């Protein structure tokens, strides 16, 4: 199974960890295509998630060689087994590609003719999406099997943004879904759908999300292996046409989700959230 990576930045920890973990498991990518380090849309998304101070600190740690201990800092500690190499860590996707022998290409738009041309040159069976643009039909059709995404919620219950937070707020079990991407928002066929139970000692929404991201990478690898040997097959989503998309959660609602998190209400009996 020929696998390639689509990433939001060469310095994305998630993208680096996904590529490194697949390679560690014997599924070395045939290539990786990322947006530039300072893509405006990615930067705004990170600032919205982390705030300016934390975003700049992270950028300095990744981009400035010799910037003290920050150069070896892993923001998501649950990605350590994928990112750490002895006494150092993978700082960017180029380093991972150089070590494992696959090309890394930077392109300003994952939907551009240049991007599509590069991806076709690798002839991938599967693309693994770790962040970036909203993908158009021209890109979705390139890989032989499809483009896989790790969604941090059970589908079809929670499509869209802030999905772990909405799961908490609506008293629906936390979960991760590995699905193929299509032209809708998280509406593509499901390969794996699993409740997330590694919640003991979770300290915050950020901690919860970090744990789920790391688990999502493991499930992506499991899904690819299952598709390759025929033990897994994609299943169309039920309620495919139903509008169940959620958007970025307001801070007041996020505070309510945090209170439920601290009370330990992480995987209650599933109830659907009204509205």
Kindly report, residue by residue over 43-94, the tens digit of the pLDDT.
Answer: 565 555 555 565 566 556 555 554 333 335 788 999 999 998 888 899 899 9
Low-confidence ranges of the chain (pLDDT < 70): 38-72, 240-243, 264-275
Q: Are 253 and 153 spatial neighbours (Cβ–Cβ below 8 Å)?
A: no
Q: In terms of Cα–Cα distance, which of 179, 166, 183 is closest to 258?
A: 166
Cis bond before residue 62 (omega within 30° of 0): no
Write down the pLDDT at residue 63. Answer: 55
CA distance 149 to 122: 19
Q: What predicted TM-score, i.e. pTM, was given to this entire model?
A: 0.86
Q: In terms of Cα–Cα distance, which of 146, 125, 124 is closest to 135?
A: 146
Write down the pLDDT at residue 273. Answer: 56
Residue 82 in tokens: 């994928």
- Which residue reads 């593509």 in tokens? 188
- Which residue reads 């688990």 in tokens? 215
CA distance 34 to 104: 8
Tens of pLDDT along 231-253?
Answer: 999 999 987 666 678 887 888 88
Query: Domain coordinates of the chain in residue numbers?
Result: 1-144, 149-266
CA distance 227 to 82: 22
In this structure, what DSSP letter does residue 227 have? H
Length of the chain: 275
Which residue stretches of 9-51 are H helix? 13-24, 40-50
Considering the domain delimited by 149-266, tell me its CATH architecture: 3-Layer(aba) Sandwich (3.40)
């Amino acid at each position: 199974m020929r696998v390639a990576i689509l990433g939001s930045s060469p310095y994305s920890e998630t993208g680096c960890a996904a590529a490194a973990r697949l390679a560690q498991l014997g599924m070395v990518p045939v290539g990786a295509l990322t947006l530039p380090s300072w893509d405006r849309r990615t930067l705004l998304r990170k600032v919205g998630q982390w705030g300016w101070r934390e975003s700049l600190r992270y950028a300095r740690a990744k981009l400035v060689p010799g910037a003290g201990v920050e150069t070896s800092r892993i923001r998501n500690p649950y990605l350590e087994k994928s990112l750490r190499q002895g006494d150092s860590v993978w700082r960017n996707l180029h380093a991972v590609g150089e070590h494992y022998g696959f090309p890394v290409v930077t392109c300003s738009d994952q939907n551009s003719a240049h991007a599509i041309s590069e991806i076709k040159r690798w002839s991938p069976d599967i693309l693994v999406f770790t962040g970036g643009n909203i993908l158009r039909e021209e890109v979705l059709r390139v890989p032989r099997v499809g483009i896989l995404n790790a969604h941090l919620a059970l589908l079809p219950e929670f499509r869209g943004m802030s999905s772990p937070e909405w799961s908490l707020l609506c008293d629906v079990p936390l979960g991760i879904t590995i699905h193929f991407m299509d032209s809708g928002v998280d509406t593509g066929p499901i390969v794996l759908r699993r409740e997330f139970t590694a919640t003991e000692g979770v300290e915050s929404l950020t901690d919860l999300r970090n744990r789920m991201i790391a688990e999502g990478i493991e499930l992506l690898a499991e899904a690819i292996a299952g598709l390759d040997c025929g033990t897994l097959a994609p299943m169309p989503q039920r309620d495919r046409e139903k509008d169940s998309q959620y958007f970025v959660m307001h801070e007041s609602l996020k505070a309510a989700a945090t209170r439920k998190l601290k009370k330990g209400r992480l995987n209650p009996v599933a109830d659907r959230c009204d509205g």
